[in-house]
Amino acid sequence: MTDQPGEWQPTACILCECNCGIVVQLEGRTLTRIRGDKDHPASRGYTCNKALRLDHYQNNRNRLTSPMRRRTDGTYEEIDWDTAISEIASGFEAIADTHGGDKILYYGGGGQGNHLGGAYSGAFLKALGSHHRSNALAQEKTGEHWVDAHFYGNHTRGEFEHAEVSVFIGKNPWMSQSFPRARVVLHEIANDAARSMIVIDPVITDTAKMADFHLRVRPGTDAWCLAALAAVLVQEDLCDEEFLTEHVSGAAPVREALAHVPVGEYAERCGVDEQLVRAAARRIGTAGSVAVFEDLGVQQSPNSTMCSHLNKMLWILTGNFAKRGGQHLHSSFAPLFRPGGVGRTPVTGSPIIGGLMPSNVVPQEILTDHPDRFRAMIVESSNPAHSVADSHAVTRAFAELELLVVIDVAMTETARLAHYVLPAATQFEKVEATFFNLEFPHNTFHLRHRLMEPLPGTLPEPEIWARLMRALGVVDEAELAPLRRAAAQGREVFTEAFLQAVGANPGLGKVLPFVLYETLGPTLPEGLSGAAALWGLAQKAAMTYPEAVRRAGHADGNALFDAILDGRSGVTFTVHEYEDDFALISHADGRIALEIPEMLAELRALADAPHGLTTPDFPIVLSAGERRAYTANDIIRDPSWRKRDADGALRVSAEDADALGLVDGGLARITTAAGAAEATVEVSGAMLPGHASLPNGYGLDFVNGDGSEQVPGVAPNSLTSSDWRDPYAGTPWHKHVPARLEPVVRPVMAAAAD
C-alpha cells in the first residue's frame, strides 16, 4: 500500500448500492483524482458524478478522533478506548442481566458499502441475548421482501442490459442508479427502436423523459395503475399459459381477481389515459423479455406492499423469468434479511420481516412503561434521529434509554443523543465490502483494501466489536488457541480444525465472526484482518451454489476466499445459467406460489378505497426525500460538495405556485401534521399540481473551519409521522405526506438614518 501521488489504487464508490469500482490517486490522506475502474467486473469503468466528490466524505472536518462519553450536564468528554470498551460492555451486560438481552436493540449494519462491521456485530449481540434489529432496509424493502418470500423465497433483479422492455415503477435510475452502468444502459434502451422503456411516476424525471411510455400517475395511485396493467394482461389473453402451467401455482385466484378489475375506471382514478395503459400492457405482454424495478416512489407510498405484489404480476403472468433480459433470482454472498426472521415487536406488535422491525415503531417501543420496552440501543453507521420518521419522537425516545452507544465517523444527530460515541475508521481507512450483490447471471463481490491507515484515535468496526467481545469474556482463549495454530498452517488445515471445533462446541457457532477474526484474521495480509468473516461466507456460497461458483473459476470455498482477498478490483463469485433460476426458488415444489390471500383481498378493496389522503388543511402531497444529483443520504455532511441546489429546494408545479403565491427562489413554509419548516422554492415543470418534493440528505449541521455552523435545507423527517406507514410492513409513507404550503414574506427593515 502506498500514498504516493500518481499511483492509481482500486476501491469503490460508497454512495449508492451499486458500489461502482473506482480508482483513486492520493496525496497524503486526500483523494485528489477519481475515475471509474475499467477492471471492475460489474461497473467496467462506469461511475456517475457523485463518486468524484468522495473526498468530502473522507476528509470531513467534523470527524471524530476519540471515544466520547456524555457527562451529566449533556456535554461530552474524550476518554481512552480501554475505558470506553470496559464501561460499554459492563453497561450492556448489566442491562441484559437485569432486564434480559432482548431489551437491547441494534440499529444499523452499515451504510452503502459499509457492511463488514455489521457482520461482526452479531457475535456481541448473541452473547448478550439480543436479537431485535432494524435498519434502513426496514424503511424501504421489507414489504417487497414479504411478497418475495411468499412468491419464491428470494429476491429478484431485472436484467435491464438485455431486456426488450424495461419497467421502472417509482424509480428514476438516471439519478438513483441501483443497477450496474445505469446511465449507459438507459441510453442503450432509449436509442434502440426494438426496445421500450415504461416509467410509472408522477414526476417527469430524467428517466421518464427517455421513456416510450410515461404513465404519469397521480401521487399515491400506483396501485390502481398496476392493477389496470395486470388486468389487461389477463383480460386480453396476454399471459404465458405454458409458463403458468409448468412453473406457477395459485394463478387461478389471481387471474379471477384481475378479470374483474375495471381497467377504464382505474386508469381514470390514477390519471392516466386508458389507451396509454392498454398500450403499455400490450407492449409488456408481447415482448420477448421484460425486466421490472420498483423503488422508493412506491415503497414509501400508500399501498406499498400491494404495489410490490402487483408489479411482479407484470413479469410472472407473462413468463419473463429464467430467460435472457428477464427477471431473475440471484445468488447472495451474505443475506440482507434473516431467513425465517418473522414475528411481532414486543410492545406495538408490529411485523418483523426478514429479522427487521419497522424503523418507525422504534420510538413507540421505547416511550412506554411496558415491561418489554427497549432499554438500550447500539447504533452502527446509521443516523435514525435524522432518517426515521418524526425525528422529534426519536429524540424523545432516545433520551429515555438507559444506554445508547453510537459507532460512527462523525458526531451525527443520533450520536449527540448517545451516552457513548465510538469513532470508526472511514470506508477508505479499512478493509470493507458491500453485501448488495444482486446481479444475474454474473454476480460480483468486491473486497476493498484500505487506501490509508485509520485516522489516529479511530478503529475499524471489526476491531471495535472484537474488543467488546473480549471485554465480555464469553470465549476462552483455550478455545481459540487450537484454531490459531491451525490458521497458521494454511487454509485446508484451518478448515478441518474449524469444522471440528464448531462441531464439538456449539457455543462457538453462535459467535463465528468473532472466532474467525481472532484466529484466521491475524494470518491474513496486513490490513485485511477485518475480512476474516468472509471466509465463512465464501464456504457457504460454495456449498449453496457449487456449480455457479466453479463456473466463476473457484474450485471451492477456500479458493473463492483467496480470490476475494487477491482481487483488488473485485471478483465474479457466481456465474449462473438461465435455467438455474428455477433451482433458486426456495419452495419445495420449485414453483412460484402466486396466491397471497391478503393481497387479493386488498386488490378487491381498491374499488372502494378512498380517492385521496389529503385534507382541506393539508391539500398538497409532499414527497419527503427525493434523490437528486447532489444528495447522498447523510454520508457526506460537508455541504460544500454540492455544486448546485445548495439549500435543497422545495419543488412545486407552476400551477401551485400561482395559486399559492409562491415565487421561484422565494421562501415557502411547509406545514404537516408532524411539524413545519421553511424552504427555498423551485418552480418546476416536472411536478404535477398538488405535488411537491423535498430532497433527502439535507438538514444536517456542519461546523465550518471558522467555527460557524451551517444547516442547509430541511431535514425531511421533521415533517413526517411514524404512524403514517404501511399496514403490512410498517414502511413509512415518506413520499405521500399531506402538507400545506404558504409563502414566507420577510419584513423589510427600514434603512438606518444617516
Q: Look at the alpha carbons of 581, 586, 589, 593 in this order and tell me if their dihedral is positive or negative.
A: negative
For residues 273 and 267, the answer to whether their CB atoms sit within 8 Å is: yes
For residues 581 and 329, the answer to whether their CB atoms sit within 8 Å is: yes
pLDDT of residue 3: 45
- Write the burial class of residue 237 (CB in 10 Å: 0-12 exposed, 13-18 middle, 19+ buried): exposed
For residues 1 and 527, the answer to whether their CB atoms sit within 8 Å is: yes
Give the rounded distance of the alpha carbon of 267 from its chain centre.
31
pLDDT of residue 49: 87
Residues in the chain: 754
Place of cell 378493496: 605
pLDDT of residue 704: 85
Query: pLDDT (tens digit, 9 = 90+) per residue, 373-403?
Result: 999 999 999 999 999 999 999 999 999 999 9
Domain 156-329+588-604: assigned CATH number: 3.40.228.10
For residues 11 and 428, the answer to whether their CB atoms sit within 8 Å is: yes
Q: Look at the alpha carbons of 349, 354, 358, 362 in this order and tell me if their dihedral is positive or negative.
A: positive
Give the rounded distance of the alpha carbon of 355 from its chain centre.
15
Domain 613-744: assigned CATH number: 2.40.40.20
pLDDT of residue 749: 53
In b/e form, how buried is each residue of 41-64, taking b as 16+ CB within 10 angstroms?
bbbebbbbebbbbbbbbbbbeebb
Sheet holding 30-36, edge to edge: 9-12, 21-27, 30-36
pLDDT lower than 70: segments of the chain: 1-6, 748-754
Measured distance CA(459)–CA(527) in Å, rounded: 12
For helices 222-235 and 251-259, the axis angle rounded to 10 degrees is 100
pLDDT of residue 692: 98
Strand partners, 22: 11, 36
Instruction: Please give the backbone phi and psi of residue 230, each rounded to the nearest 5 degrees, phi first.
Output: -65, -35
In this structure, CATH architecture of domain 9-58: 2-Layer Sandwich (3.30)
pLDDT of residue 6: 66
Measured distance CA(157)–CA(174) in Å, rounded: 17
pLDDT of residue 611: 83
Q: How far is CA 509 from CA 123, 127, 333, 474, 726, in A?
A: 9, 11, 19, 13, 36
Place of cell 471509474: 36
For residues 41 and 442, the answer to whether their CB atoms sit within 8 Å is: yes
Q: Which three cell numbers stand for residue 474?
A: 464469553
pTM of the model: 0.96
CB count within 10 Å of CB 433 equals 28
For helices 304-316 and 142-151, the axis angle rounded to 10 degrees is 40
* Integer-rounded Cα radius of gyration of the chain: 26
Residue extents of the structural domains in the chain: 9-58, 156-329+588-604, 613-744
